[in-house]
Amino acid sequence: MDNYLDSFREMISLRGLTTHTLKNYCTYIRAYLDYLSSVLRKLPEDVSWDELRVYIRWLKRSRNLSDRTVNCAISQLRFFTLYVLHKPWDDTQLPMRKFDEYLPFVPSKEEVSILIDAMPDLKQKAMVSLMYSSGLRIGEVCHLRYEDIERKNMRIHIRHGKNRSDRYAILSKRALDILTSYWFAFGRPRGWLFPKQTCPDKPIDTFYLSRHIHAVERSLGWEERITCHSLRHAFGTHLYEDGTDLLTIKALLGHKSLNSTTIYVHLASNGTHTAISPFDRMEGVSHE
């Protein structure tokens, strides 16, 4: 089965997908190939649609996967079938699953301020400040370089974001002050702004910050609800609450579609719940 996995990796590389995407895609294809070897004892090209459906049900049950994650596995199977096996794919044989969508938790402005003030380490404080003040993804913060911070123009150059496109993000004066203090205290890094401690030639790992955020939450007596992405959502939500239009927020966050940005209408404290029902407006209406 190794030959199939090698071919899969090659086709992903030919499409120019990122290393991160390659790793994610291989996760469930590797599980699928293991399943074929140990359970079905079949080659991939000999698997029927019925057997594929059984596999998806087994995968969801055995790994307790969400419907959204199951859809990712189906997408990977589709890619594998089309580009490795060179066989047609029929969406009616293995449809995508419906899934529930939930609004993410967004800390208030006060909670963000308390969190940042409580961060005990300048590196962690600088990273959290940048995520909130500029709406950056954790991966974008980790991959910042010294030259990306444009102090003269008060903006941050984000290189190859999630949608593989560059953009400029806001550089907050307060965040810059914290970042400057960090820079002097941590050896004035000129390459990666947040280098990996054990290997300065590489950027810090994306999982570095989460445990420190949760540690601060525990010290404050809070539930562990804030994630790195919560701070990005807080940036978008608080901008909308302060009157910034959605198109500007879309550009600052680097969203590909405005649909991704409209979530902040629902999350904002002055969003949809401030609308007055037409039924309440009828009070006192004359029916003569």
> 129 and 265 share a domain?
yes
> 237 and 119 share a domain?
yes
Our answer to whether residue 4 is catalytic in this structure is no
Task: Pick the catalytic residue from 60, 162, 214, 225.
Answer: 162
Packed helices 19-35 and 49-63: angle between N→C axes, nearest 10 degrees: 110
- Angstrom distance (rounded) from CA 63 to CA 66: 9
Q: pLDDT tens digits, residue range 142-181?
A: 999 999 999 999 999 998 756 567 899 999 999 999 999 9
- Angstrom distance (rounded) from CA 58 to CA 62: 6
Our answer to whether residue 23 is catalytic in this structure is no
Our answer to whether residue 238 is catalytic in this structure is no
210, 224 Cβ separation under 8 angstroms: no
Domain assignment present for 280:
no
Domain count within the chain? 2
Our answer to whether residue 164 is catalytic in this structure is no
Task: Pick the catalytic residue from 232, 233, 238, 250.
Answer: 232
Our answer to whether residue 255 is catalytic in this structure is yes
> 120 and 233 share a domain?
yes
Task: Pick the catalytic residue from 9, 97, 145, 229.
Answer: 229
> 193 and 79 share a domain?
no
Q: pLDDT tens digits, residue range 189-244?
A: 999 999 998 898 999 998 999 999 999 999 999 999 999 999 999 999 999 999 99
> 67 and 126 share a domain?
no
> 59 and 164 share a domain?
no
Domain assignment present for 114:
yes
> 58 and 168 share a domain?
no
Domain assignment present for 258:
yes
Q: Say which CATH number the domain at 64 has.
A: 1.10.150.130
Packed helices 228-241 and 122-134: angle between N→C axes, nearest 10 degrees: 40
Out of 53-57, 93-97, 270-274, pick the least confident.
270-274
93, 55 Cβ separation under 8 angstroms: no
> 254 and 113 share a domain?
yes
> Can you give the pLDDT at residue 160?
72
> 74 and 181 share a domain?
no
Domain assignment present for 278:
no
Q: Say which CATH number the domain at 231 has.
A: 1.10.443.10
The domain of 20 spans 2-83
Task: Pick the catalytic residue from 137, 167, 238, 250.
Answer: 137
Our answer to whether residue 232 is catalytic in this structure is yes
> 28 and 151 share a domain?
no
pLDDT > 90 fraction of the chain, expressed in percent and rounded: 69
Domain assignment present for 170:
yes
Q: pLDDT tens digits, residue range 56-112?
A: 999 999 988 888 889 999 999 999 999 999 999 999 999 998 876 778 899 999 999
DSSP H or E segment with residue 194: none
- Angstrom distance (rounded) from CA 105 to CA 227: 9
